[in-house]
Structure formats: structure tokens, C-alpha cells
Structure 1
Amino acid sequence: MNATLEQMQQHRSIRSYQDKPVPAEVLDAIIQAAWHGPTSINGQQVSLVVVQDAARRQKIAELAGGQPWIAQAPVFITVVADFYKTRLGVERAGKQQVIHDSVEGFAVAAVDAGITLGNLMTAARSAGLGVVPIGGIRRNPAAMIDLLQLPELTFPLAGVAIGYAADEGDIKPRLPLASFAHRERYNAADLPGHIAAYDAQLAAHWQRIGRDDGEPWSSNTARYYQQVYFPQVAPVARQQGFGFDQ
């Protein structure tokens, strides 16, 4: 197994960072690695906002629901769906952009943002840095848009904190591989057994590391998915010019 595969299989989210800056050349290399990632139809409908200012990172930590590691890490990068940029290109070609008025548009931007986020994390970890992806910036997207001065037809989809780890933490076990990778067809019949086994495995993991607040996967997922936990995403996206009727 090569070093990249081994490192990816040892992923852990870092929530404790050293008070140590990321060298400019390292950060630039990470950004360029993400920049070279693929996008649908080469539309490049993703942009990054790189935040290193301490006061701004503190504000993002608050907007994300009180996540101190965002303020602690020296770099926070927001991955932005960007149909403002593409609209300029479409208009330059003498046409009118409509893709942002569709579910497909938001979906393709989210997919490409996910690719960008994955490349950022892989590149950062290969440089000896720790990372934690942050979806909590969607908790108050209007405030994030204001903070980052995002124009219309853009939306902050996710972010990632990057820095030198102060505590590597433990690798959280995953659902069985067979529940993730289905061969030739989706195998629904075995999922209940996989989930039951994973609930027990995760409970043992929490006990082993002394996490009294750790929950089984089922109940933790239910706590979030029984509701729309970031209800401002759709209304703020519409305010930004996105539509979901096509």
C-alpha cells in the first residue's frame, strides 16, 4: 500500500491545534492541489475563501454553533458554490444562465464542492497537517455570506479547519465496508444487521476512550435527521438567487 492510501485509511478529524502558523508555501500548495481538481463540464463553479485573520476565524466558530477548533486552527477555508463566476462567462458568450434555477445546479455545485473539499483535506494531511471538515457554516448562512462578502448566486456549502494537530485523537470506527461498497447491486437485506453490529462497536469505542456522551450511530443520526437541522439553507439560497423548481 502506498503512503497516500495508508494515510487516507487512517483519517481522523482533528479538533485540537497547535499555536503554529501554516507556512505560506505549504498553504499555497494545498490550495493549488484543490484548484486542479475536476469539475462537471469544466464549469469550475466552486471558489474558496481562505481565512487566516484570528477575529474572522473566531466569528466563523461562533456562527458554526460554537466550534472552538475553527478559531484555534490557523487556517479556515470555505468552499463556495459559485454560479456568479459562471454567469459572467455565460454572459460573455452572449447567453443567459439558468442552471442556478434548478436542483441539478445546486447538486452539481455540491458534488464539485465535495471533490474540492476532499482534495483540500488530502493535500493538507499529506503536508503533515490536521483537518476537520465543517458543515456548521450552513447553520447561519446569511451571516457567513455577509462575513465573507459573497455576491449573489454563491452559497457557502462547507469549510475545513487546517493546522498542526495538538492531539491526534482516535480513529472512529465506520459502518461495515459491506454497507458502504455494494457489489453489482444494492444489498438492502443485510443493512439492519450491519447497523446493529456497528451500534455495538461504536458504543465499545466510546467506552474505550472514556466518552460518556458518545451515542450509538442510530440514535446520533436520529437526533439530527428527525429534523431539518439547518433550516436556513433553502430560504437563504433562494435569496442568493438559487431556484429549486426545475
Structure 2
Amino acid sequence: MTALAPVIPEDDDRLTALASERYRNDQRLSGDWNETLDTLLSHRSVRNYLPKSVPDSVLHLTIAAAQSAPSSSNLQAWSVIAIEDEARKARLNAVAGTQRQIAQAPLLLIWLADLNRPRKIATDDDAPAEGLDYVESFLLGVIDAALAAQNAVSALESLGLGTCYIGAIRNDPEFVARELELPEGVFPVFGLTVGYPDPAVPAGIKPRLPQSTIFHRERYDTTPRPGDLKDYNAALGSFQAEQAIPVIDWTEQVKNRIGTVEALKGRHLLAAAARKLGFQLK
């Protein structure tokens, strides 16, 4: 029997559907559809998982995808730690404010800016490593970790798994460093929950700001775009209502997040914590 060819959606129809979910406005996308674009445009944060472990084969594929991300000067200044032990995961969850996605996910990945490895390469050969003492190198490690993690997210989603970034790991990086026995020069940038999404609690695609708000040509355009933020507040509100989460305007969320030091939840101390963990940040 001849195998049936896979059904390929009409490119513009599928892209229109994806744009509608992502923006909830009149944004249109056109061109050639492919599965990679579909995975990227369909991204959503998953906070409810099935009690099903992530196979080692999937984990190693994910790490390979992460290592395929670009790396500044090919320094590859990042590492990642897989956490599956429930007791350790619970201790890290306490730092993050006890989030249900961490409690439910069978796997928690902690992504690290890792300057310990390049420093060791230099010191083992009695070579200087002055460049590692500057903010640039710290940023390099953070950016490398973020690029690698996002590649991992795309790979995991293409395999049917769900993820959620956990920035709250930075609430207490010194505790995380002790818990994970991080050597000097290694900083926990964020966590990532990984697991199979619970179909009984489907995650929606959160709308993003209109392209007209964030996309510029040739120079930064400060011309006001009346209605953009109001329309986005409405789009996000409809998403929040559908997901049965508190409805709050995005502009209010922004003001609440940046309005006070307390809203940073301890992360105003990150520079001091980074220095204690071996980063001079000159």
C-alpha cells in the first residue's frame, strides 16, 4: 500500500491563522510556510504537565540543539544542569516562589553563564585572563546561555514537549550556586521547566505587541502610534480571560514591575551576588 503524503496547509492560510493567534489584530503574514516557522510562531509557555519523564534521548537531542546556537567568539561560555531529583527541585522552587510549573515538571534545566571553563583553560597554561573580569564577558556568558536555551525550547516544542522560563531563579543566585555546587565564575541565569503538556489544561498563545510598536527601519522612530498600547491591552485581556487568569492591562503590568525595588524580588542585589560568585564586573 502506498503511504499517504503528509497534508501541507495552504501557506498563506496557515500563516494567517498563526498571525491571528500571535497578534489578535489585523497583522498579516505571507510567504512560504514550513514546520520550523510553525513551531516558532506557535510558542507558548506551558505551566501544567503530565507526570511523564523526559527520555534521555530527548534530553540529548535538546542539548545538541542548544549547542548549535551561535556563540560569541566561539567561547561557548555557558553550561546547563538538569534537575530531576524532586527534593532538589523543591528547594530551588522555594527560591522561585513555589511555582506550580516547577512542582509539576519532571525536568528543570538551569542555564548558566560559565566563565569558569575559559578561566581554567588560561590558568592551567599560566596565561592571563584579564578579559574575563569585565562586564562584557559576563554579558557574553549570559547571552550565550540565552541563545542556547532558546534553541533548546524550539527543539523541545518541535518534539511535542512544553517549556516555561523561570527567571525567578535569580531571586537568590547565591543559594542556587550552593545548591548546585557551582564553581567560582558560574552564574545561574534562569531556569526552564520541561515536560509533556497536560491536554486537560491547554496553554494558549499569548499575544505580543503590534509589530508597529517594536519594529523600526534605519533608525529608532519615536513617533507616537495612537491606539497601539490600548489595542494590545485589549488583546492581552482577552487572552487572560480565556486562560482564566487575572485580567490586568499590560501597561499596568509594566508599571507594577518597574515601579519599586520590592517588585524586583531581591534581584536588585544581582551585581553584588555576581561579584561574590567570582565576577568582577569592571
The TM-score bracket by the shorter chain reads: over 0.9
What TM-score does the superposition give when structure 1 sets the normalisation length?
Answer: 0.93
- Does the CA contact (< 8 Å) of 2:185 and 2:279 recur in 1? yes
* Match in the other structure for 2:274: 237
Shift of 1:96: 1.6
- Does the CA contact (< 8 Å) of 1:75 and 1:162 recur in 2? yes
1:219 and 1:52 map into 2 onto residues whose CA distance is: 36
Say whether residues 1:22 and 2:54 are aligned partners: yes
1:25 and 1:240 map into 2 onto residues whose CA distance is: 33
String of CA shifts for 1:100-135, please: whole Å, max 9, x gaps. Answer: 322211211121111011011011111110000111
2:225 and 2:111 map into 1 onto residues whose CA distance is: 33
User: Which stretch of structure 1 is more off in the superposition, 141-150 or 222-231?
Assistant: 222-231
Say whether residues 1:195 and 2:232 are aligned partners: no
* Match in the other structure for 1:225: 258
Q: Percent identity?
A: 34
Say whether residues 1:71 and 2:103 are aligned partners: yes
* Match in the other structure for 1:165: 197
Shift of 1:234: 1.4
* Match in the other structure for 1:215: 248
Distance 1:155 1:209, change over 3 A: closer
Higher relative contact order (CA 8 A, sep 6+): 1
What TM-score does the superposition give when structure 2 sets the normalisation length?
Answer: 0.82
Shift of 1:186: 1.6
User: Which stretch of structure 1 is more off in the superposition, 184-193 or 127-136?
Assistant: 184-193
1:13 and 1:174 map into 2 onto residues whose CA distance is: 13
* Match in the other structure for 1:112: 144
Shift of 1:3: 0.7
Tell me, what secondary structure is at the counterpart of 1:214?
A: coil
User: Which stretch of structure 1 is more off in the superposition, 181-190 or 109-118?
Assistant: 181-190
- Does the CA contact (< 8 Å) of 2:119 and 2:132 recur in 1? no
Unaligned 5+ segments in structure 1 are none
User: Alignment RMSD, CA only?
Assistant: 1.6
Out of 64, 71, 80, the residue aligned to residue 32 of structure 1 is 64
* Match in the other structure for 1:177: 211
1:209 and 1:74 map into 2 onto residues whose CA distance is: 23
2:35 and 2:271 map into 1 onto residues whose CA distance is: 40
String of CA shifts for 1:66-86, please: whole Å, max 9, x gaps. Answer: 112112111111110111111
Shift of 1:192: 5.9
**Which has the higher Rg, Structure 1 or Structure 2?**
2
Paired residues in the alignment total 244
2:42 and 2:91 map into 1 onto residues whose CA distance is: 31
String of CA shifts for 1:175-228, please: whole Å, max 9, x gaps. Answer: 0012222222222213564223212322233234443x2211111111111234
Shift of 1:93: 4.3
Unaligned 5+ segments in structure 2 are 1-32
Distance 1:11 1:94, change over 3 A: same
